[in-house]
Amino acid sequence: MSTKTRSFAYLAAGLCIGLGLGQVRGVYADKQAAVAPPVPWEDAHTFAAVLERIKHDYVEQLDDHALLQAATRGMVSSLDSYSAYLDRDDYDEIKISSAGEYSGVGIEVAMEDEQVVVVTPIEGSPAEKAGIRSGDVIVMIDGIPVNATALNDTIERMRGKEGSTVRIGIERDGAAEPVQFKIKRQRVELHSVKADLSEPGYGYVRISQFSDSTGPELLAALATLRKRNGGALHGLVLDLRDNPGGVLEAAVAVADAFLDKGVIVSAKGRTADSRFQMDATPGDELSGAPLVVLVNGGSASAAEIVAGALKDNHRATLMGRTTFGKGSVQTIVPLTEESALKLTTSLYFTPSGASINHKGIDPDIEIKRAELAPGSPDAELQAALKELKQPTVNRGTALSAAVH
């Protein structure tokens, strides 16, 4: 089947579904701000009095900027667990996560035992080409020791202008001295889609998060699977386990790839921009072949939009465990070039009209952790492949939006 053309009107507010990480889209830049009502005088007086008392009496001297930044952060964080004031570092991370690319060396790192450890070099990145390996410990950047208590600082120092160089010192098992790498920074793409032909006729697609590039990546992955298979697939497993979410429009594009028609998601909020509905367009990349979606407690937000849309439209069987239950939409509103506000503006609803907020989506076929054999190959994937071949759930009648 030829790939269908998709045309989704991006909301002027730039809606995003959180990765924990809500994502950057457009903004309210072209809108005239409404005149806000005055702040109650008594509350303004109290705030000013507290600010002045802290400046005058607190044991350490603090400047006005730090205090007001803290006040802003505290005000926003009091709203809900997803709204946040984003400083320069936070805002940069949001942009990178949304765009799916950045300029740097291409290393995924984590803190382990108070060390900055390489989880993996990104495939095709400058770091991989230079020979950096999983398990390496980063100890120096440009001759300066890393701060083992500030992972973000290490990440920031490895990023930089495309074409510039950075020197990274690595401790490696078997090496008596730190190994030095001089690496030229390049544009690094963060791929969110991985695919494999599990066996002849049956494909597997894993989506780790939803960024601007996820929709096109999925279509390319499906085309590759069809080519490797020598024709149309007999079935597909879509793996959304531990997917924290991401860009709303990317989730809609993924759901639409498997739907011919029907509502994908709707949302309700206080403003006109926060109320919307997105529908599927004609065309199914699998031509109706069976689809099983793997989910668990780490499947959140945009991942739940996809799972809910495919379930409620009777297009897929959900397997695994109840999803996380994040049914809210965040809007990124830039405040300055280096700061922004991530604000919950809507609650979204599955095609059946159900809100999953704090509830999640129950799978059609539950796979309990106790049923998984320790150390065995991916038992959930094997169960999903079996369901594709010998279905136990009737997608046409039994998928009745089991959202609680």
Residue pLDDT, tens place only, 288-335: 999 999 999 989 999 999 999 999 999 999 999 999 999 998 888 899
CA distance 89 to 102: 14
**Active-site choice (136, 312, 362, 364):** 312
DSSP assignments along 210-258, one per residue: B-TTHHHHHHHHHHHHHHHHTS--SEEEEE-TT---B-HHHHHHHHHHT
The residue ranges of the chain whose pLDDT is under 70 are 1-37, 99-100, 370-377, 395-404
Q: What is the pLDDT of residue 10?
A: 26
Q: Is 182 among the catalytic positions?
A: no
Which of 315, 314, 316 is CA-nearest to residue 384? Answer: 316
Active site residue 161: no
- Looking at domain 102-189, its CATH superfamily turns out to be PDZ domain (2.30.42.10)
pLDDT in tens, 207-257: 988 988 999 999 999 999 999 999 999 999 999 998 888 899 999 999 999
CATH for 193-330+346-389 is 3.90.226.10
Catalytic annotation present for 326: yes
> Of these residues, 211, 326, 342, 362, which one is catalytic?
326
Burial of 364 per CB tally in 10 Å (0-12, 13-18, 19+): buried
Domains in the chain: boundaries: 102-189, 193-330+346-389
Q: Among the options 301, 311, 342, 346, which is catalytic?
A: 301
Q: What is the per-residue pLDDT for 35?
A: 52
pTM of the model: 0.74
Q: Which of 333, 358, 361, 363 is nearest to 345 (CA)?
A: 333
Here the tokens at position 292 are 């099983």
